Each structure stands twice: as C-alpha cells, then as structure tokens.
Amino acid sequence: MVRGIIVLFILVSCLCIPCVYADLDANDSTLKSQFYDNGNLIDEREIGPGLPPEGWIRDANVPILAEISAIMVNKTDVPALDWSYGCSATSAAMYFGYFDRNGYPNFYVGPTNGGVFPLNNSVWGPSFESQGQCPLSASQLGLDGRVSKGHKNDYYSAYGSTTDPYYSAWSEHTPLDCIGDYMGTNQYQNWRNSDGSTTFYYNKDGSPLYDYTGNESVKGRDGIHGMKLFAESRGYSVLTNYNQYIYGYGGNTKGFTYDQYKAEIDAGYPVLIQVQGHTMLGVGYSTPNTVILHDTWDYTYHTMTWGGTYGSSPAMQHYAVGVLHLSPAPVVTSINPVSGHIGSDVHFNMTGSNFANGARVNLTSTGKATITTTGSLSGTNLTGSFTIPSTAVAGMRNVSVNQGGKFSNDNIQFEIKTPITPYVLGIIPGTGSAGSIIPVKLIGDNFTNGAKIDLSRNDATNISTTGTLSGTNLTSSLDLPVSSKQGLWNVTVSQGGRYSNNNVQFNVTAPVPPVVNGINPDHGSVGRNVPFIVTGSNFGNGSIINLTSGIEKNITSLGILIGPNLTGSFDLPLLAQKGLWNVTVNHGGLYSNNNIQFNVTAPVPPVVSGIFPDTGKAGTDVSFNITGSYFKDGAQINLSRLNRSNLTFPSMLSGSNLTVSFNLPISAERGLWNVTVKQDGLFSNNNIQFNITAPLKPEVTGIYPNSGLAGSTFPVNLTGNNFATGAIINLTKIGQSNLTFTGILSGNNLTTPLYLPPTSSIGYWNVSVNQGGQFSNNNIQFTINPALPVITNLNPGGCLQNNHTTSFPVTITGTGFDTVPALNNVTVDGSVVSYVVESATIINATFPETVDNTLGNHPVIVKGISGSSAPSNFVVSANGFTINASSDGIGWINPSGVFSADPGSSLSFTFNPTAGARVKNLTVNNEEKSTDSPFVISSVDKDYTIRLNNEPLPGVVISGFSVKSGDGNTVTFYDESLGGANKWKWDFGDGATSSEQYPPPHIYAQSGTYTVSLWSRNDLSQSQVVMGDITVPMSTGADSVLFFGP
C-alpha cells in the first residue's frame, strides 16, 4: 500500500511544470501561467476576445457628463471605436487615434478623413462578424485602400480560433503595419494568442512591470511592449510603458491607485483599463471613485467604479491598468538672432524644451516658400544655420520645430529683412604671389556672413572665396593658382543679389619657386611609412614632395601646408635603393632646389621590450600593449611554446607601440609563452614572455528561460561569473545522456541555441558549465516540458454530410499526446469530445453525430499539459470528394475532368503521352508519383488534383500554335511547338504562307472559315504538321485566343 502511494507521488511530480504554481485560480480563465523572472513572480494573462456580452444593448446607460462633474483628457477629440479584431488592439487604436489628432500625426497615415484619424470607425463599415473594422488596429486587404493582405487576412479566422490562415498557406505580410501586428493580437503561431486575444504580464506583488520582454523566447509578447514598438515604428519615442495591478487586488499593497489614474488623465494620457477578459480605455474621471471610459462596444462614454466590476452576465472585475507615455512635442521659447537679411547665412541659437538632435527647424509664412534646416542639440538648446535665399520675400516668418512628426508651437517669429549693398573700403594684404594661399581681411560696411568675395579682371576667370563675418569685416583665404594672371585684380563682394563697388584692387605678383631648407626626419628604413616635415618657404597646399635618386622611381608624397611648412609621409618600398635621395618640392610646375637629402636605410627588425599585462587566463579575452621599437601597423604577434602551435594575432600601431585584443583559447596550455613580432619577414627578439594561467572556475547563477518544450529550439542565456567563449554547457540528468552545447560569451553571460530532442526525458535537468576542464556548480535546474501535441492524421479524415445518426469513432494519430488522460483535452469545433488515450501517438476519440450536419472544415485540437496542437480539419463533404484529373496537350489521362468520388472508394487512372513524347511526371496534389500506368488511389479520403505532364522525346519536334484575334479580319499566329524547332512553314488557308517562327499579323481578305497548318522541325527531327480551323473574324471588338497542338 505504501509502495503504491510512493509510485503515485513520483508520477505526479514528473508531470508537473515547475514554472506554473499551485496558486493559479482555476476560476480565472485569463491567468495562463505564473513564473519567476529575476526573483519576481510574474502573472501571464490572455485578455480577450472582449466581445459585447449576451443581452448587451448599444448606447445604453450613457452618463450625462455635465451632471457628474467629469474631468476628461479632451472629450471632443478621443475616438470611440467598435470592437475591431480584439478589445486590446481596439483600445490601443483609440489611444493612438487620440494622439494622432493631438500633435502626433504619423500614427494614422491612411486616406480617410484627410489623413486624420476619425472619431469613430463607422466609415470603414462592419466586419464579416458584424463587429467593427479599423486599419489602425487590424489592417486587411481592401480596407482603407490597402491592395495586399494584412493582419486580418493572415491571423484572424473567428474569435476564439487558434487558426492563423496564412500558416502553411502563404507568407505573412511584411513589414508589420498595424497595432495588432506589434501587440501580438490574434497571432497563435507567432505569440500563442487566440483570435481576439492579447497577452499582458504583471508583477504579482502589484509593482509596475516596465516594458516586459522576458517571455518572448517562448512566444510571449506583452501587449504594452507591443504598443511601444508600434509608436517607435511611426517615428516616435516612448518615455515609459508598464502594466500594473490596481492597489488591493489580490491583497497587494504596491498597486496603481485611483489618485494615480486621475493624475494620468490630468496630464492628458488615456489609460488602458483591464477588467477580467476585456480591455477598455479610460478617458476621464468623476470623484470620488468613478472611471469614464470607452468600452469598444459603441461610440459613446460609459462609467464604472474604480476597482469594481463592469457589465453583467458576467460582471467583469477591474484588476489592472496599462500606462504609456509618449515623448512630448518640442517647445520653442526664443531664437537668436531674431532677424537676417536676404541672401545671408544666419547662425542661430534656439531656446526651449524637449529638443532632439537632428530636429528640423522651419521658417514658415502662408504663401511663401519654407526655409528649413537641421538643428544640433547643444545642452538643452538647438543651434544651426540657415541660408536666406536671394529669392526670399522680406517679412515675418513663424519659427517651428519638427522632430519625428511632432511639431512645436509656431508663435515665435523671425524677421527676414531686405538685402543690403556691401561696400568695400580696402583689402589687407593688397598683394600676393601666384601659387600661394593668402589670408585676407576685407574692410568695409554692410557685410553678411557667407558673402562671396571675387577677384576679377577682363582677361581671366574670377578667383572666388567665401567670407566669414568678423565684427564688421570679412575674413577669408585667397587660393591664387600658379597660372594666375599677374597684375591688378578688382575686389568685389556679392550677397543676396547685391554687389559692392569694384574700385578696390589686389595685386597678383609672379609666382616664387619653393625653397627647401630641410626635412625632419632625414632618414627612414625600407618597408616603413615615414611621416616628415619639410621646412622652407613659398610652399602651397597640395605641393608634391619627391625623393629622387638617379634612375630609381621617384618616391612621392602629397604635402599639406601647416603654417609655412609642408607635412606628409613617405611609403618606402622594401626594394628601394639604400642611400641618399634628393628632396625636391614641385608646386604648380615650379621646382625647388634639390640639395637637401634623405637617407633610405636597410630594414630594421622590430625590438620587443615588454608586454603589458604579461599574464592572462585561458578562455578569456585579453587586450595588451607591446612596447619596443621599429614596429609597423599590422605587424603579426606570435605567442610560441615548445611543441605547441603558435597563437597568432594581427596588431595595430598605437603611437610607437603595438596593441592587440584576442581570445586566449580555453585549451591553451598553461605556462610561459615567448612573445615575438614579425613584420616584413623580419622577426624580433623572443626573450619577452607571457604567462597563460588556468581559467577561473565558472559559476552558474541562472538560466533564462528556465524551461522549454521537448522537440523545440530556442536561445538561452546563462548568468553567472567567469565564463568564456567556447565553454561547454551541459544539461544532465541521472540515467540520461548529457545534452551538450557550446556557449558564446555575451557581456558576462553565456548564450547558445538550445535544441531539445523530441525524445528528451521530461522534468528537471541540472545545468553546468565545463570550461577548460574547470566545472561549475550544478545546482541550477532547467525543466524540459512535454512537446506540444501534433496531429498527423485523422482516420477517417472526413465524411459526407448527414452521414451519421449516432456518434462515431475517429482515430487521431500524432505525437506528444499525454498518456495520462486527465492531462489531455480533445475538441471538435471548440467543443470537448470523449476520448481514450491509447498511447503517446494514438487517441481514439468519439465524435458526436452533429459534426456532419455542417459542410466544410471542422477543426480538431488536442490540448496537452504544454499547450494545444495546431488544428487538423475533419472535412464534411456534400457529394463525396472532388477529383480533378487532366493532362497537358501532348498526352491523355483516363478518367479525366472534374468529378466526385465517394469516401473510401477506389480509383484507377491510365495515361500515356502522344506519339513523339514521353511522360515527364505525374503529380498528385503537387507531389510527384510513379510514372507507371495505371495510378491507383486505393481509398479516397480527400480531394485530389492529378496532373500528367509530358515532354518531347530527344530530337522530336511536336508542332503547335496559338491564334490571337485582332481588329476586323486581323489574326496573329504564335509558334507553340515543343522540342527546339528551327524551321517553320505556315499555311494560312487563304493561299498565303510564311516561314517565320512568329509571322506578322495576317489580314484575311474575306470573312469565313480557314484551315491553318504549321509544319515545324529541326535538323535532327521528323517533320511535324498540326492543323486547325479558325473562323474569321474570330471575335468582334474583343481579344480571343485559340490553341492547336500541344
């Protein structure tokens, strides 16, 4: 007796799921599971579908707001929607629709109501279930101008259904484009939500749960996180988003209070109101404890008591809220300067709040072109510059900021003033030599920043530059080409279409050859890049510095002018001649002296003087610095040890040292390794050593997720200490073979894809890490839960309508069936049927005779301890199953055509290709079958589409053509021959012929019937002729096509 009790206890223990706890309320159908995440107990709730309850009356019990002292967000601007494919997505659509009408115009971008979200969804009409429709909550083909499948088409079958229509039928739509897409609503395959439902997560203790994503690896999408993702997809950022139980629910003392709700409304934020099985939108309040809301069932307001119940049959208990705050719109308080002249560049500083880097700054005025630029965040202000075009009209402009579709106020103004004429009094210096860059200052009046400075003369192209306003003067640099005309040039300034006087002159003098006084350093070894400075005079930016030596190819560098000197760098080839090379400078065809020399020396091997740090643990990432001399960027670092393979890494030159980061393999031998550097085939000394030490013992503190289904693959994250990339992660259980995976270091944690074989033992497995022979603790556990049941076959798979007068047996074959009957649940059309579990792969069910009353598919679902199977359809047919048998034009199949067959009946098909052809394949429901005739279906159990496809024998041409009508008696002929014909002869039946493959359109002189023939062949084939009669005209006023042959 005692032994029996012990056995029973073990059985129950093995079947429990450790992430689900005993305090689940059996009467709370919305509570799917509870689990721990980082020490917090989390509730998972599936909300929906949230349809109007039985007996509900539209527009009933509407409060008179004036009589209850209502406080609202903006009662004239909050949309009220009828239920549209899920109460949670519909409430979220009302939320975002409100903000679309209040400063966030990107939420709704469709064509209705001028692109502004309407106050209700009547404009989109009723759904096929006589509920509402809304493209913001659930996009769909044909709604709001959509021309492709959307959310409703892909995910929704009927409220409560777990069938996603796209699954195994077509690719789901991309990108995500509506609220339901992001919240996971209706998506069973992606997020395990039945039609009309959305999942939300809550901290059991009542504290807020912010932006929760911790269950997504096991297909758990939190609805409030989905709302955040939708807002971000529209270009907006979210300050905060969270779910929270209300204060007192379940006895908690940390929950959301009525005062917090009122504060949200006062701040202009609607709030999701969660009652059991339904989501609504709170939009106002009336003290002391009344919530004003939209319930998704009509277009008006309703009320409920905070913490009370809503509706009846059943009364739905209020238990939680959802809160989301969008980032606020920018506010402009001032701009400095407050004016600018036409044609000028204006640098501005804008004060205000809520600015973001990259915001667009606009100057606007009705009927005038907008002036716009991009601002940069500087502290809390925006700075930037804009150009006032020469075509701008003087007057006041409104200043506004647009960032992510959010627009600021526009009551701050900027004045555009008429352009002013600049006046030049003088230029300092007044002379400069051709080929030089001369810093200049223009003295005068009425200059604007960005004004154009020109040197001009009648016989030359202008030399131009842009001026920078410095006080009342303009400063700039004149780049005088070597080829500049020598003599006086007129100086003018232009800005905003206004030109200055041109009586001030600048004298361009003859170019002066460059003079080289020295080069530093004056030597360098081959194979190295040598930075240098050339001292001297008369240099120009972009001057060419040459090293020359007899017949050797010049070594050349482009010079950059810094002060009076040139800087650059020489790449000295490994094969360059050693010795002295002459240094010259070429500036615009003017050459310097060549008596300064640079010594090219032999290559110098690198020298290693130290390594820091000089130790590292196997299996860890190490960054170190090698000190020494004569190093090159990209030099190879080697760690070597007797009888061991080298550890080799590329390096980077940092100053005069080498830096490198690499991973010390977990298998690297512990002890001292010699450090060497190799570059250009030269090796450094090897007397510097690096010590590889044993790795620290790894420690595992957690694994997330901590459970998974047998037969599934998903990523896991191990938290702990002392991990390394390549560490071996083991799942162990007494009496079972280890499940082993290779970890990848991510931060301080290990990640890996975890594959749990379908045959994995159910229950607890110990988690441990092996790192280079160092083993972690093994007291962290992972639970393998039974795989989701899978239905592979129903026998029978269907029946004729009204075929049964009593209940009848159906054998369900599949995998993952729980052998404890109490843990299974078999439904047909959503109703539980009786069954007997024969094994983990067979269930004998009894279907009620009423199943065959209705034509079509009847979904069968097996629910086990881990969840439900995908539905498998029991098909009820009117007149048996449909058979569609056909062949292409060069073969035949018998029987052929579309006809009915009784379930269980036997069919035999004979087939053959025509002369000159052979069978290519026979497909049955798109699967290739044996090409042996006949093909036999021993027992018809579904619809069949049978297709015989043939092809010409090698070297055989099978003639064929098509005919397309044109206007009047015009007919166009097309060659459709198979087998690679290269010769054709047409006879159009009226005496006309053609030898072209595609003859031009043929016009018959008279109406009538004509026999048309096509003879086609190739160089290897027999001649083939196909004939056919056509009546001309073929069809009056419309195209018509006929085919003859294959």
Distance, in Å, from the CA atom of 732 to the CA atom of 734, rounded to the nearest integer, reads: 7
CB 184 within 8 A of CB 155: no
Average pLDDT per consecutive 10 residues, the chain (1046 residues; last block may be shorter): 30 32 53 86 92 79 70 84 97 96 89 95 92 96 94 93 90 95 96 95 96 91 98 90 96 96 95 97 93 94 94 89 92 94 89 91 94 94 91 93 83 92 96 91 92 96 94 93 93 91 96 95 91 93 93 94 93 93 93 96 93 90 92 93 93 92 87 94 94 89 90 90 88 94 90 90 92 88 87 91 89 85 78 89 93 87 83 82 86 86 86 84 91 88 90 82 87 87 91 92 92 85 77 69 72
- Per the DSSP assignment, residues forming a β-bridge with 912 are 892
Would you state the pLDDT for residue 822? 58
123 phi-psi bin (left φ>0, alpha ψ -120 to 50, beta other): alpha
Q: Which two tokens stand for residue 939?
A: 């027992």
CB 1005 within 8 A of CB 938: no
Distance, in Å, from the CA atom of 446 to the CA atom of 745, rounded to the nearest integer, reads: 64
CATH superfamily placement of domain 699-785: Macroglobulin (MG2) domain (2.60.40.1930)
- Per the DSSP assignment, residues forming a β-bridge with 288 are none
Q: Which two tokens stand for residue 780?
A: 């962290």
- CATH code assigned to 331-417: 2.60.40.1930
Residue 167 CA to its chain's centroid (Å): 21
User: Looking at residue 529, what DSSP letter applies?
Assistant: E
- CATH code assigned to 518-601: 2.60.40.1930
CB 587 within 8 A of CB 564: no
pTM score over 0.75:
no
CB 1017 within 8 A of CB 1024: yes
Burial 385-417 (b: 16+ CB within 10 A, else e): ebebeeebeeeebbbbbebbbbbbeeebebebe
CATH superfamily placement of domain 790-877: Immunoglobulins (2.60.40.10)
Would you state the pLDDT for residue 124? 96
- Per the DSSP assignment, residues forming a β-bridge with 285 are 71, 291
Q: What angle do CA 810, 812, 818 make, to 5 degrees?
A: 130
CB 1011 within 8 A of CB 1036: no
CATH for 961-1044, among 3.40.47.10, 2.40.240.10, 2.60.40.10, 2.120.10.30? 2.60.40.10
Q: What is the CA radius of gyration of the chain?
A: 42
Cα torsion 209, 214, 218, 221: sign: positive
User: What architecture does CATH give domain 423-509?
Assistant: Sandwich (2.60)
Q: What stretches of 847-990 show up as alpha helix (H) in DSSP?
A: none
Would you state the pLDDT for residue 1046? 64
CB 1034 within 8 A of CB 1042: yes
CB 613 within 8 A of CB 624: yes
Q: What stretches of 665-711 show up as alpha helix (H) in DSSP?
A: none
Q: Which two tokens stand for residue 987?
A: 């006879």
User: What architecture does CATH give domain 607-693?
Assistant: Sandwich (2.60)
Give phi and psi for 583, each to the nearest 5.
-105, 125
Give phi and psi for 183, each to the nearest 5.
-75, -15
Residue 461 CA to its chain's centroid (Å): 53
Task: Determine how β-strand 331-336 pairs with β-strand 339-341.
Answer: unpaired
Give the helix, strand, coil percentages of the chain, each rounded to 5.
10, 45, 45
The secondary element (H helix, E strand) that includes residue 336 is strand 331-336
